[in-house]
Structure 1
């Protein structure tokens, strides 16, 4: 076995695990859809007669998400990127993200795009990680702010002493494992990543683009769902809908399905229903949100992806 084959084996096993988990989630979603088909059908009918004005607002908010994603990606790179290709790349990356699991599609497209722009692979991977980390931090901050505005909506499960002890033991074991040669390699990688982050934030324009674009991207997705809930007359406050979306999308991210397909839909419908929304209205809202953010842009996004590949931009 050659060295390339040896290195590729773990990647194949990881891909198989992701594929099996994705298949299991999709099978579960199909089973749930068949079991609750009447609710889904009623929700689709309700969406068809929804308020067109609010649906246009949701569509407009969806269109702005891609420029915000491009702005955040530019903010994570010290070098200036070509605007047109950057925007097209983000649109193509969103489509690829709904084909491959666990965000691999968007990461692969963005990585290839940055490399084609002349950025070394290590710096390109760090830029993608910086953008993702900024989005995760802002998502957590928004959840904290919205929880303060609507306390008591989300109930965190009680954690037993045994779980805390196990967590502490895991952290201690990780520290011991990292105390040897592995730690020196990790320290070099962390030092290089920190130097890159400092270089990005040394330019206020780049830092503002990174954090502002990431915040706008998350906020606009909340706005899309809020507008759709208004269109289908779902009786929930906007703050509560935004908080439920952030919590549900964070939980659904733990399952590596393409674009949260199935996992986000089920978790979001469940969250809206548990918050007091009728089941049909919740199904209509989630269906409308997914149509605008996933299914309608999917084919155009894949076409843009193919064009970028053909022209050598990816």
Structure 2
């Protein structure tokens, strides 16, 4: 009698991938519901529609066009420090997806985690992926600090006008780092895990990381990318003011954009909702912009640079999930 075929054993990796895909779809669905809820709760659509009706359609189109520049600049800045070959179009989708993720996480934590996740899906060790994202953020802070110093000097303002350092947040971060260092020093099992998952991957990827941070072309691309982000936001704010027949010196608007972003980043609320709009409004009124126009321009700026990106970011995240990129 012929023997019956023995069924092939189940592939544990395939089962794990299926479970991960199911969890990813559930998380994406929950995040979508939360995002819609926050959007409905936070935005006064009647007031927003009334203000948008008063805008100049030409300048509104210009603002929308300039809003592409920060996305491209952010992707270029990330690409500059990424190891290996990464498609520019795909990393641009990741930067768009961070707008949706940041809506449901405080202080852009979701966007940072998404970038780390993307690199790990490209077979980059977790420790190296975290280091790359850290390099991107460090370069962004350095470029922004130099830019705001030069802008304040050119505008004739005192350095006291610059955003103050959030010393409480710095102290909390320093305390966490110190506690982690003490834990690794006196806990053998934790030290072994640290060596296995952090030190060893860094040793293996050391030459590639050194090449990244010493490459003049990569550093130049990073600087240009981060400058493009800042200039794009300034251009959007200038066009938003022009849409309400208002204007201000570009240098002062750059200070408002950078300072407002720094202030909103220190407030632990999802997407900087409320804090960003308030910081922009106060900054514009401080440079002698009419209060009504300042409020309208601040809301229009946030709609173009954040709220419009939320549904686009959701679509980008869905596409990346289907590509198994995150």
Show the counterpart of 1:103.
108
Q: In 1, distance between residues paired with 2:258 and 2:244?
A: 20
Show the counterpart of 2:220.
208
1:49 aligned onto 2:54: yes
Equivalenced residue count is: 269
How far the C-alpha of 1:223 sits from its partner, in A, is: 1.5
Alignment of 1:264-303 (within 5 A): 264-303=276-315
Show the counterpart of 1:246.
258
Picking from 135, 138, 143, the partner of 1:133 is 138
How far the C-alpha of 1:44 sits from its partner, in A, is: 5.7
Deviations 1:149-198 (A, max 9, x none): 112366459x9xxxx9xx99xx9xx99x9799759x89x97xx5996753
Alignment of 1:100-249 (within 5 A): 100-152=105-157, 155-156=160-161, 182=185, 198-249=210-261
Task: Tell me which of the two structures has the higher relative contact order, counting C-alpha pairs closer than 8 angstroms and 6 or more residues apart.
Answer: 1
How far the C-alpha of 1:311 sits from its partner, in A, is: 3.0
Is the deviation greater in 283-292 or in 266-275?
266-275
Kindly indicate whether the alpha-carbon contact (under 8 Å) linking 1:74 and 1:80 is maintained by their aligned counterparts in 2. Answer: no
Picking from 61, 77, 86, the partner of 1:81 is 86
Q: In 1, distance between residues paired with 2:181 and 2:309?
A: 44
How far the C-alpha of 1:253 sits from its partner, in A, is: 0.9
Unaligned 5+ segments in structure 1 are 1-25
How far the C-alpha of 1:102 sits from its partner, in A, is: 1.1
Kindly indicate whether the alpha-carbon contact (under 8 Å) linking 1:92 and 1:305 is maintained by their aligned counterparts in 2. Answer: yes
Aligned in 2, Cα 1:148/1:298: closer, same or farther, shift over 3 Å?
same
Aligned in 2, Cα 1:182/1:147: closer, same or farther, shift over 3 Å?
farther
Aligned in 2, Cα 1:261/1:124: closer, same or farther, shift over 3 Å?
same
Kindly indicate whether the alpha-carbon contact (under 8 Å) linking 2:83 and 2:209 is maintained by their aligned counterparts in 1. Answer: no
Deviations 1:247-278 (A, max 9, x none): 12111211122221111111111221232222
Aligned in 2, Cα 1:266/1:255: closer, same or farther, shift over 3 Å?
same
1:71 aligned onto 2:83: no
Kindly indicate whether the alpha-carbon contact (under 8 Å) linking 1:75 and 1:206 is maintained by their aligned counterparts in 2. Answer: yes
Q: In 1, distance between residues paired with 2:269 and 2:183?
A: 36
Rg: which structure is higher? 2
What stretches of structure 1 move > 4 A for 4+ residues in a row?
Answer: 177-183, 192-197
Unaligned 5+ segments in structure 2 are 1-37
Kindly indicate whether the alpha-carbon contact (under 8 Å) linking 1:130 and 1:197 is maintained by their aligned counterparts in 2. Answer: no
Q: In 2, distance between residues paired with 1:109 and 1:212?
A: 23
Kindly indicate whether the alpha-carbon contact (under 8 Å) linking 1:62 and 1:293 is maintained by their aligned counterparts in 2. Answer: yes
How far the C-alpha of 1:46 sits from its partner, in A, is: 4.5
How far the C-alpha of 1:202 sits from its partner, in A, is: 2.7
What's the TM-score, normalizing by structure 2?
A: 0.71
Show the counterpart of 1:94.
99
Q: In 2, distance between residues paired with 1:67 and 1:235?
A: 26
Q: In 2, distance between residues paired with 1:44 and 1:237?
A: 28
Aligned in 2, Cα 1:75/1:277: closer, same or farther, shift over 3 Å?
same
Alignment of 1:255-270 (within 5 A): 255-270=267-282
RMSD: 3.7
